[in-house]
Structure 1
Amino acid sequence: MPISVVVGGQYGSEGKGKTSLHVARTDASVAAVMRVGGSNSGHIGVARDGRRFALRQLPAGAVDGNLLILIPAGSYLDIDLLFREIDELGYDRAKIKISPFAHIITEQHKAWERETALREAIGSTQSGTGAAVLSRVARGAGNLPPAVQAEDIPALAEFLEDTTAIARSLLDQDKRIIIEGTQGFGLSVLHAEAWPKATSRDTTAGSFVAEAGLSPLDVDDVILVLRCHPIRVAGRQSGPLPHETNWDAIALEAGIDRDLTELTTVTQAPRRVGQFSPEIVKQAIAVNRPSRIVLNHLDYVDPAVVGGELTAKAKRFVDDISAAIGQRIDWVGVSPDKTVVLELQSQS
């Protein structure tokens, strides 16, 4: 009864979508990808023909179009965005199943977040996800917009099914399911040291499995995804970033003569960036107990790795990180735009 959970070990944008897609492409037993969370984070998936998709509702692990997509009760859906992504991917609607209890992000939720000035306070994307979470928990009480479920939306009727029952049937057939988690451990509403500079949900593997409506006993694979240089969203109000630096310094250190500045998927604002900090990662390891660790964006350390071979400089960096966090790095990602992952056969 195999489940792979993909979880971020820093502050988001670690490359979880690329990792999910790599697992889907390399494990023939994968039958479905589940995405939990809301539209306040984006995952990148690069199709086999090179097209690059920035997805905020559909899982990047299903970009190839050959897998069942399950959107469980622990998901928060912006309907317009969902349909836009379905059309953009040209995804077979018969392969998309949504729990009747999945939460709907309404215009009222977005307006509530704008009125509370969350962007100024914590760097919120104001996607409405947090307000939808609050509405669900409030159960009709308080000065919050009403909670809406997928079963209340006629346009979603063709997709509605019991996603737990579907997943359970696949697991009973020994088919693998990927749960594509969102954001990173350092943003967890429960575990973020910088709370309230956090997101509105817990962002650990255990919570992702609960949001998916499945049992922890089904999980045999937890993949913790890291990046060589952790990021946070723009603005100091988004929270502290240990060992913060800038994109120019990273490019200079790596010998890269182009602008590396990254923009957030949702707001298109420049990301803040830092040097690798083992502290947050060790906390993420303690809580998530990963079976595999992926280290992405190694080309920001040495661009020569894009060719597919680990250079001595890159190998030293990986070995130093492994020693600092006390656990082996199993895969490295060598490009931000390609689903290229090198499996490390041996490490000192």
Structure 2
Amino acid sequence: MPVSVVVGGQFGSEGKGKVALELARRSKESHVIVVRVGGSNSGHTGYTKDKRKYALRQLPAGCIDRNVDVVFPAGSYIDVNILLEEIELLQYPKDRIFISPYARIISDEHKLWEAGSKLGRDIGSTGSGVGAAVLASVARGAQNFPLSSLDAQHCETLSAFVCDTSERLRKWLSKGSRVIIEGSQGFGLSLLEGGYWPKATSRSTTAAAALSEAGLSPLDVDEVVMVLRSYPIRVAGESGPLFGETTWEEIARRKGSDLDLREYTTVTKKLRRVGVFDVKQVKHALDVNKPNILVMNHLDYIGKSHDLDNTESELSKFIVKTQDMLGQSINFFGFSPFDIFSANKIFV
């Protein structure tokens, strides 16, 4: 079955949104559906073909061209106000948005609880309410738990979007449509397998988990795409260990550039921490996710695309060394927010 699962292999911000958008644009199938799992605690960035930037927290970046169906399955967490704002921002066709009745709603109550929990200080949480919404859902109305849980079928504001998304996805797949599951965050943040608990997010962020949240079968998948970046990041504050932590200024110095490379988080607008490529972590991510496609973004932090033709360049040496240590080829290279290279061909 034509299902692509896009996941991050580090700590998020690897460029999954750009990749999901690229998969949608070059799909051989005429009908494409993008499934957004997770919640509003991470930003997904993509650019239109005329290079207008959209940083989205609810809608998937894979929908920026406004020509795909968008599904929020049972394993999604929805901040209603953010979703409606993004629908308005993109002027997205409302008849192309489908929400499972079992998708959970993030409330002001959840955000307030997180603000009082000090998770933002202790683990670098964005405080978006997703973790509290997960807790409330798992508590199942327990009398001694302080938070309530609401699903989409009981949220009047979303009533026009609610349908049986599992049934709809199955019908689309039976007709040969392409489904792209746009995962959120990265493997190192995964609650179960990432290895950094409690400095983790509130969900599992693997390909298998994304598929489960989407309500689909492992037998549906023909493509697992793992996205990496040359220099991994973590969010600001006490967000957990980061191998070979360095500075943005040092990365620019190594490249021989005086450009300001500093990155800021989409949700909290704080300066990201940055480290060097951690082969051990990525190999663990490869073992758990078993991707058949690897994408490496942010290679412009090491060199330029034309350096790929020079086997003696720092860029070529980095790619060869990385592939050798991972034991797997990198299929696509990214040097900007707009495109990826494969076998000397650029997809725009």
TM-score range relative to shorter protein? over 0.9
Spell out the pairing of 1:122-137 with structure 2 (5 A cutoff): 122-137=123-138
1:210 partner amino acid: S
C-alpha displacement at 1:145, in angstroms?
A: 1.4
Question: Which amino acid is 1:246 matched to?
Answer: T
2-structure distance, mates of 1:8, 1:278: 14
Give 1:2 deviation, angstroms. 1.1
Q: How does 1:167-186 map to 2 (within 5 A)?
A: 167-186=169-188
Secondary structure of the structure 2 residue equivalent to 1:65: coil
Corresponding residue SS for 1:244: coil
Q: Do the aligned partners of residues 217 and 254 (structure 1) sit closer, same or farther apart at CA in structure 2, a change above 3 Å counting?
A: same
1:204 aligns with 2:203: no
**Aligned counterpart, 1:165:** 167
The residue identity in structure 2 corresponding to 1:51 is R
**Contact in 2 for aligned 1:223/1:290 (Cα 8 Å):** yes
Partner of 1:344: 343
Give the aligned CA root-mean-square deviation in angstroms.
1.4
Corresponding position of 1:333:
334
Q: Answer yes or no: is 1:21 the counterpart of 2:8.
A: no
Amino acid at match of 1:92: P
Cα 1:311/1:271, change in 2 over 3 Å: farther
Q: Give how far 1:309 is off.
A: 6.0
How far does the alpha carbon of each residue in 1:157-196 deviate from its partner, in whole angstroms, 9 at most, with x for none?
Answer: 1111111111111110121100000000000100122210
1:262-281 superposed matches below 5 A:
262-281=263-282
Partners of 1:256 and 1:23 lie apart in 2 by 32
SS in 2 for 1:183: coil
TM-score, with structure 1 as normaliser: 0.95
The residue aligned with 1:231 is 233
| 3-state SS of 2:183 partner | strand
Task: Quote how far apart the aligned CAs of 1:37 are.
Answer: 0.1
What is the letter of the counterpart of residue 322 of structure 1? Q
Contact 1:225 1:293 in 2 (8 A): yes
TM-score, normalised relative to structure 2 = 0.95
C-alpha displacement at 1:308, in angstroms?
9.5
Q: Matched residues, percent identical?
A: 50
Distance across 1 between alignment mates of 2:146 and 2:96: 34
Secondary structure of the residue aligned to 1:245 is: coil
Residue 59 (structure 1) shift: 0.6
Counterpart code for 2:124: G
Between the aligned partners of 2:146 and 2:320, the Cα distance in structure 1 is 49
Q: Which runs of 5+ in 2 are unaligned?
A: none
The number of equivalent residue pairs is: 341
Residues 139, 145 of structure 2: 8 Å contact kept? no
Query: How far apart are 1:96 and its partner, in Å?
Result: 0.5
Cα offset, 1:156, TM superposition: 0.6
| Residue 170 to residue 4, structure 1, CA distance change in 2 (3 Å) | same
CA distance in 1, matches of 2:27, 2:108: 39
What secondary structure sits across from 1:267 in the alignment?
Answer: coil
Deviations 1:104-127 (A, max 9, x none): 000000001111111111111000
Q: Secondary structure at the match of 2:136?
A: helix
1:345 Cα deviation (Å)?
A: 6.7
Report the equivalent of 1:288: 289
User: Match for 2:176: what amino acid?
Assistant: D
1:60 aligns with 2:68: no
Please give the alpha-carbon distance, in whole angstroms, between the structure 2 residues aligned to 1:156 and 1:275: 43
Task: Give the Cα separation in 2 of the matches to 1:98 and 1:194.
Answer: 32
1:43-122 correspondence to structure 2 within 5 Å: 43-122=44-123
Q: Using the alignment, how far apart are the partners of 2:54 and 2:120 within structure 1?
A: 25
Give the Cα–Cα distance (whole angstroms) in 1 for the partners of residues 108 and 203 of structure 2.
20
Contact 1:98 1:163 in 2 (8 A): yes
CA distance in 1, matches of 2:170, 2:122: 41
SS at match of 2:202: coil
